[in-house]
Amino acid sequence: MRIGRQTVKLDNPPVIIETSSIVGVKEGEGPLRSAFDKVLTDDTLGEKSWEKSESMLQKQTMLLALEKATLAQGDIDYILAGDLLNQCVGAHYSVRDFDIPFLGLYGACSTMTESMSIGSMLVGGGFANHVMCLTSSHFCSSEKQFRNPLEYGGQRTPSAQWTVTGAGCAILASKGSGPRITHVTTGKVIDKGVTDISNMGAAMAPAAIDTLLAHFNDTGIKPDEYDMIVTGDLGVIGSDILVELMMEEGFDIRENHRDCGKMIYDIEKQDVHAGGSGCGCCGSVFCGYIYRELKRHNLKKILVMATGALMNPMVVEQGESIPAVAHAVTIEN
């Protein structure tokens, strides 16, 4: 049921029956290590290109989710997946080995909640019993594609974020036990003129604010009803902008705002500058740490909002700014 310009309330809220998460070496050295299903010992995953490594990462994460949920491929009605790579090759080269109907998404780093948003409506609308929501990112494939190949050895600016090597997969179901997705707030594409390809946090914050305001206005939910309002990968700079500008709009989220990009690394010690980013940042932190805390009932009601900078380096070189989008889902135990 639509309850506002951007929000749907699910009359039959789908259950997140299982998740899986796999992260890279560096992410496994961070504070959330114990919350991931698997930490890689080799970020190549034995593949000969970074694109193939990322694809293998998605594939292993998807297989792990099926195994943990004791479901077969034939039980899954749709895979909703995407990633940062051109033509989403991370997703396509992993799902081609699966016998499951596929709907490809591009939402940049917002993909985890974009897939959960559409997935919730497909399950909630009675069109599917089980949907897999899947995404990934890989530091090495992302640097190569969006900035410079690692071998170039470029200096990183202080506002730069570190793309998470990681993947997350969540299985939504029409029945079963677990936390449920009760509301879906879909973002608009917002562009406030940021042109710095090393400051994704600033590019994404306006989209996060826009969606968050829409969410509160549409639902009437107050910020303090949430145990956690978690953004995907605003990092240090984007988070500061979000919290400050939300305050100006009359919403105090200082107490309960968290950001996956700040949580996944020890920002001081791990030399990640403004924090983590990438589809796999929200993907792995939600499917790893946050889902675990929901299952342990340490969290009762949360808002998860992944944010995506829809950045194409060539178009930015043509003088364009970087649009962004943020999609939010309410999850309740």
Binding residues for a copy of itself, per CB under 8 A? 1-2, 5-6, 8, 48-49, 51-52, 74, 77-78, 82, 85-89, 92-93, 95-96, 98-108, 114, 117-118, 121-122, 124-129, 186-191, 310-312, 314-315, 318, 320, 323, 325, 327
Residue 132 pairs in a beta bridge with 79, 171
Q: Are 233 and 161 in contact, with CB atoms under 8 Å apart?
A: yes
Which residue type occupies 207?
A: A
Which residue type occupies 35?
A: A
Question: What minimum distance in Å lies between the beta carbon of 140 and a copy of itself?
Answer: 14
Q: Is 121 or 229 the residue whose CB approaches a copy of itself more closely?
A: 121
Question: What minimum distance in Å lies between the beta carbon of 101 and a copy of itself?
Answer: 4
Question: What minimum distance in Å lies between the beta carbon of 196 and a copy of itself?
Answer: 17
Indicate the helix (H) or strand (E) that contains 263: helix 260-263
Question: What minimum distance in Å lies between the beta carbon of 163 and a copy of itself?
Answer: 15
Task: Write the DSSP assignment of 164-206 as a string of letters.
Answer: --EEEEEEEESSSSS-EEEEEEPPPPB------TT-HHHHHHH
Question: What minimum distance in Å lies between the beta carbon of 185 and a copy of itself?
Answer: 8
Question: What minimum distance in Å lies between the beta carbon of 86 and a copy of itself?
Answer: 4
Q: Is 247 or 315 the residue whose CB approaches a copy of itself more closely?
A: 315
Question: What minimum distance in Å lies between the beta carbon of 252 and a copy of itself?
Answer: 26
Q: Is 28 or 124 the residue whose CB approaches a copy of itself more closely?
A: 124
Q: Which two tokens stand for residue 163?
A: 């793309």
Q: Is 188 or 301 the residue whose CB approaches a copy of itself more closely?
A: 188
What three-state secondary structure class fits 148? coil
Q: Which two tokens stand for residue 290?
A: 């946050």
* Selection from 116, 119, 165 nearest residue 139 by Cα: 165
Question: What minimum distance in Å lies between the beta carbon of 323 and a copy of itself?
Answer: 4
Q: Which two tokens stand for residue 286?
A: 């939600």
Q: Is 123 or 228 the residue whose CB approaches a copy of itself more closely?
A: 123
Q: Is 30 or 61 the residue whose CB approaches a copy of itself more closely?
A: 61
Q: Which two tokens stand for residue 283?
A: 């993907």
Q: Is 41 or 318 the residue whose CB approaches a copy of itself more closely?
A: 318
Q: State the Cα–Cα distance between residues 155 and 147, nearest whole angstrom.
A: 11
Residue 80 pairs in a beta bridge with 103, 133
Q: Which two tokens stand for residue 61?
A: 């994460």
Per-residue burial over 191-223, b = 16 or more CB atoms within 10 Å of its CB, e = otherwise: eeebeebbbbbbbbbbbbbbbbbbbbebbebeb
Q: Is 201 or 288 the residue whose CB approaches a copy of itself more closely?
A: 201
